[in-house]
Copies of this chain bind each other. A is one copy, B any other.
Amino acid sequence: MPNMKIAVIGGDGTGPEVTAEALKVMDAAAKLEGFTVEKTDFGFGGDHYLKTGEILPEGAVDELKKFDAIFLGAVGHPDVAPGILEKGLLLQLRFQLDQYINLRPVKLYPGVETPLKDKTPEDIDFVVVRENTEDLYAGIGGFLKKGSADEVATQTAIYSRKGCERWLRWAFEYTQKRNNPKGKKLTLVAKTNVLTYGHDLIWRTFQEVAKDYPDVEPDYNHVDACCMWMVKNPEYYDVIATTNMFGDIITDLGGIIQGGMGVAAGGNINPDAGGTSMYEPMGGSAPKYTGKNVINPIAAISAAAMLLEHTGQPAAGARVMKAIQTVTGTKMKSQSAGKMGYSTTEVGDLVVDALS
């Protein structure tokens, strides 16, 4: 059986703790499925930056490209100004590795509490396909008369036909494969009535690409309406395709309705041949819980399940996903740090036990 080679960036705060549990579960699932996972640690993050002044060393991206996938714990350090590590590490990797899909399943696991009334795991089960390389994240803008009373600042969203097409095509294909028994529906979430240039390109591309997927129902929501709908009728959604900026917003909303940062995970995917993808729990580095063995590793373990699923080991991925749901549904008291009824490592052990 071929080894899977992954690069591990544990990162800051509780990142390494949840990463350890994710790797433990990955190893156990691999053993059951008859393959092995070879791990190489990369010590990037706040501490490395504070010691060396560098975030991603020269050549790091080329090095990372040699792996089958990357696992990222968390970035964010109390002694580093906000934005530095996020931009220098997370966004750099997304861009330089051309991970143009940000995949965010919004799924309420059994036993997990949602802040929404009367919603069950059947109601909260959709996937957001966020574009991950364009839009306002291009980092383009500037200042006129900076610091004066007449200052003007700009920030430009850029979209390319190629960028829209590869993302939307992937979203249609994903919707097709997801094969929701309630009906295959892809909802584009944008703001075409106001962003009449940028989102017009997206809208035209969406309509054209849709023709190639006649079994998928193309649907549209303005982003403001989508936020209402996600709270009121999350069962309406199957797959959502949205832009980088709006995706940032609605996936956090999705994260909270599925039970919060302790459970939400995402993949930064480059689906092209030879592409390197990166999987991460959505929570931050949670500095105040560091070293206490109380943080919830379920999000990290979910990220591991996604990694396996999308890196040629779907059976192992499905096995982990099922084990997670056994543990949330029958064991854990809460998904909040310190209230789980178990320690971080114990939750990892419970998932390992539930694998077989």
Give residues in A with beta carbon < 8 Å to B.
82-83, 86-87, 91, 114-117, 136-137, 139, 141-143, 148-162, 191-201, 223-225, 227-228, 231-232, 245-246, 248-253, 255-257, 260-261
Chain B residue nearest to A233 (CB atoms) is: B115
Q: Does B161 lie within 8 Å of A150, measured CB to CB?
A: yes
Q: Does A195 lie within 8 Å of B161, measured CB to CB?
A: no
Q: How close is A151's CB to chain B, nearest CB, in angstroms?
A: 4
- Which B residues touch A228, using CB under 8 A? 252-253, 255-256, 260-261
Q: Does B136 lie within 8 Å of A194, measured CB to CB?
A: yes
- Which B residues touch A152, using CB under 8 A? 158-161
Q: Does A151 lie within 8 Å of B201, measured CB to CB?
A: yes
Q: Identify the interface centre among A157, A200, A232: most chain B CB within 10 Å of its CB.
A: A157
If the complex has contacts A227-B256, A256-B232, are A193 and B87 also in contact, measured as CB distance less than 8 A? Answer: yes
Q: Does B154 lie within 8 Å of A197, measured CB to CB?
A: yes
Can you list 10 residue pairs at the A/B interface with Cβ under 8 Å?
Answer: A87-B196, A115-B231, A117-B117, A148-B161, A152-B158, A152-B161, A153-B197, A153-B200, A228-B253, A231-B257
A interface SS class? mixed
- Which B residues touch A115, using CB under 8 A? 116-117, 231-232
Chain B residue nearest to A144 (CB atoms) is: B160
Q: A150-B162, A227-B256 are in contact. List 10 more A-B contacts (CB 8 A).
A: A83-B192, A115-B231, A117-B117, A142-B197, A143-B197, A149-B162, A154-B158, A224-B251, A227-B250, A228-B252
Q: Does A249 lie within 8 Å of B231, measured CB to CB?
A: no
Partner of A252, one of B141, B156, B225: B225
Partner of A197, one of B116, B155, B248: B155
Q: Identify the interface centre among A91, A245, A257: most chain B CB within 10 Å of its CB.
A: A245
If the complex has contacts A154-B157, A155-B199, A201-B143, are A193 and B82 also in contact, measured as CB distance less than 8 A? Answer: yes
If the complex has contacts A193-B82, A256-B232, are A151 and B161 also in contact, measured as CB distance less than 8 A? Answer: yes
Chain B residue nearest to A223 (CB atoms) is: B249
Chain B residue nearest to A161 (CB atoms) is: B151
Q: Does B253 lie within 8 Å of A194, measured CB to CB?
A: no
Chain B residue nearest to A137 (CB atoms) is: B194
Q: Identify the interface centre among A153, A195, A225: most chain B CB within 10 Å of its CB.
A: A153
Q: How close is A349's CB to chain B, nearest CB, in angstroms?
A: 29
- A193–B90 CA distance with the chains assembled, in angstroms: 12
Sorted nearest first, the 8 A-B pairs with minimum C-beta distance are A141-B197, A155-B198, A83-B193, A224-B252, A153-B201, A151-B161, A228-B256, A227-B253
- Which B residues touch A250, using CB under 8 A? 227
